[in-house]
Each structure stands twice: as C-alpha cells, then as structure tokens.
Structure 1
Amino acid sequence: MRQTRGPSPEEEASEALNRGASKDLEEGASDAREPTTCGKRTADCSHASGLPLARATVSKFAQAEEYPEMHHLKRGEKRSLLDPYKRSILQRWQQGCTNGLQLYDEIKARGFTGSATLLRMFLAELRKKHQEAGSASALSLDTSTQAIEIPPSLPSKPRITRRLSATRASWLFVSQSGKLNEKQKQHVGQIRAGHPDLERAYQLSQDFVMMLASRREGDLDTWLTQAAHSGLPEFKKMAHGIRLDYAAVKAAFSSE
C-alpha cells in the first residue's frame, strides 16, 4: 500500500501566496466597481489609522470646505442640540427676524429636535447682548464656546432724549418768546417746523397772548374771526367759547 505524502513546506507557501493574490484581485475588482465609496473609505482608514482621531472626525475634516475649529469639551460640559443652528439664528436675527416662534419653526424644519425652551434661553442671551451692543450687526458667535460675543470696543451709543410732552409743548406755545431760553426756543422751532397746522397754531397762540399782555381789546374781534376760520378745531372751539362769554373776556383786558 502506497503512503500518501502531504504537501511540502514549499507547496504550502506557494498555495498561501496564490490565495492572497486571489483575494487581492477580488478586492481590486470590488474597488473598481465602487471607486467613490471604497476610495473614501480607504482614505479615511489610512488617515484615521495614523492619527489619534475618531473616524467621524476624520470624515468631518475631509468634507469640510474650510478648517473646522475643534472645541474640546471640559469635564461636565455638554454640547447643546441648538449649537449647529446658532449661527443661522444669529444671521436671521441680524436680518431683522426676532420672532421666536418663527425662528423655532425654521430650525425645526431643518432638523432641530430640541425644545422651544432651549431656543428661548438662547434668544434671551441674544437679546441682552443686542441691547448691550446697540446693534445686532456688531454681534458674533464664538465657534469654540458657541456663545454670543460683542466687540470689546463699541462706538458710543446714540444719546436718548426725552420726548417732549404735550403739556410742555402747549406751555412753550403760549409763553412769550422773549422769556424763553435758547434750548426752549429750539424746541419751539422744531415743533413749528413739524407741520403747517402747528405753525398756524403757534401764531394764533402768540397773537392772543401778546394781545392780552398789551391789553389790546380792540384786536379781539379780529383774532376771533381768524381763530374761527383757521381750520383748527381747538381754536374754533376756543373762539366759540369766548363769544359765549364775550363781555367777561372783554372786561379781562381792562382789569389789573
């Protein structure tokens, strides 16, 4: 009976090489069929194998159009679901959209899965920084901390002047011009320039005051006619009231 001889070491080595070559040919054919996917995978693997970075990080770097800033979280610090949307929210805010509901709908349509409360907290910070900066265009987003920043040096805020009340404006109208200071005269000029009716009202007011101060009772009838035909309801009503009590008003001109 003839004894069966096993493969020699040389034959085993040759067979292993053949198997390896066949596997390489199969993988090469697979690469040819899927050049994009496999090429990308090979690039990711080759880079990830030589760097202390996760595969997802390498993929992010490979797809980024510019260098993506990396922020290493501190212990206990967590990323917010809102972080990917903060830049676009700031841009919309700078464009004039400050409606929280609308902003929420916009980011939700883009995939935001967080709560409306999360957005409200960010908008509260954004609104506060907006008020501090005086202008939304001065705001920016710190990419490392995802916080709203304002420039360290800001232009001086516009001076806020108090609005002139109707009572004070009326007092200025019936005050003699010679008794007003320069600032008060400036206010009067601004009011008179606001509308032709205001200029007409000022002239009638000053005519009446000067007529009364000079005790020119003979000019009263002329003034009443001008007031009645001025087109100003307040002066028309005033003229009517004076005519109803005409004698008493005439007497006021001669009283001390």
Structure 2
Amino acid sequence: MPDGFLDVRGQPRRIVATIRERHQAVQNLHAEGRSLRGISRDLDLDYYAVRRYARTANVDELLVKVTQRRTRLDDYKPYIYDRFTHGCRNASQLFREVRDQGFRGERTAVSRYVRLLRDGVVTTPPPPALPKPRRALRWIMTHPQRLRPDEAVGVKEIRAACPELDATVDHVRAFANLMHEHRGEDLLTWTAGIDEEALPHLSRFAHGLRHDLDAVTAGLSSSWSSGQVEGQVTRMKLLKRAGYGRAKLDLLRTRILLRT
C-alpha cells in the first residue's frame, strides 16, 4: 500500500477506508439503476461527491487525489531522509535545519515523518517533489522561449515523468501555434491528432470545438477580434454602475461620449 495511504502507525488511514466504502456503495446503487439524486439522498452525501464516485470506476484514482496532495514538507523530505539515513534521528534538530532552509510548516509535520522513518514504514527515498498543478500549467501555457532556465528544466522533468503529460504539452503548444499564426484551416488536423491520444480533457475540448467548427475556424483564421467591442461594453457597464442605477439615458450617453 502506498505511504500516503498509511497513518503514522503504519495502519490504513481512516479516510482511505471511508472513500472505499462510499465508492462501493455508490457503484452498487448506480448499477441497480438508481439516479444520482436518489443515491445522494439515501447515503446522505453531496450530489457532486456521488457523481464523482459514480464516474470513477477505479477507486485508487480517488485515493491518489486525496492522499497524495502536496504538503509544505514535500520539498524537504529528500533532505530529511538523507540526514536520517546518515545518523541524525532527532526530529527537533531536523526541524530546525529545514526551517533554516525555508520550511514554514509546523514541527509536528517533521516529527510525523521522522516517526515513519524510525518505525520502518517509509523505507525508500521519497521521489522528487512535483511542482504544484498551477505552476506546471503556467509552464505549459508559456511560450518555450519565454521560460526561465529553471522553468524549462521543470517542464522537461514533468514531461519525462508522465507520457500523457508529454503528449498534452505537444498538443497545447501546437494549438497555440494555430492561434498565433492564424492557421484555422489546420484545426481539423489538430483535433484528429487529439482523437489518437488517450487524453480525456483535451478530447472534450476538441469535441466542443467541433460543435461550432465554422465560427472557431473563422476566429483562428482572422486577425480581427472583438476585444475592442468587449472593452467598450465593460466600460459602459462600469459607468452605469458608478451612477448607482440612477443616471438617466442622456447623462449616461454624455459620459460615454465624453469618456468621463
């Protein structure tokens, strides 16, 4: 069982058992033909939680999302593991050392991890800490030439660690090139490439583009945009709200025309 599924005593965490029980109950009721709303009432669970349990066939996918969340200590676990294996078993000393390196968490977090090491629950070096999803997303959405050297290394590492993410980066950058170079005629070729990959999120995005293919193609092909119009509409709403709804049409018209 992965370390994230265990508590400090090496026993399965309570949340793991709870998620497994709820997932099994939802799957059983859903297989009987019950509606998600009905299951939500019967099990006294949030509707969106029930929908998540019903749509996820493999419960381990849910467990990984819950138990493998990043913590403040993740970036310092390799250091603590190395110091522990070289003889430093004092949790307070290790806490002071990682605090001097920038750790902003509580002492108890370090103590819990040292206890896992001391009890033999964690026996392998922790993997390198992965970047936060938002940071990785920013790297992917940034033009490669505008990435800092450390960010470029980060993109290379996450691409090497996950084949699906590697393919996603290629498709996202290809779509960015379509937008930048106004190559709307190549949109169908891009969506066809998505269909060949097992990338659910991009597949849904590509499917949505096909629903309004002509408009999307025109938008990607033309250098014109509605940005100026949208900006004027936003300005008009701001002026209207600044009058607290009491400005008559003639006053609003004057303020719009005079740009005041």
Q: Output the TM-score relative to the length of structure 1.
A: 0.39
Relative to the length of structure 2, the TM-score reads 0.39
Instruction: Give 1 or 2 for the bigger CA radius of gyration.
Output: 1
Give the number of the structure with larger relative contact order, counting CA–CA contacts within 8 Å between residues 6 or more apart.
2
Greater share of residues in helix: 2
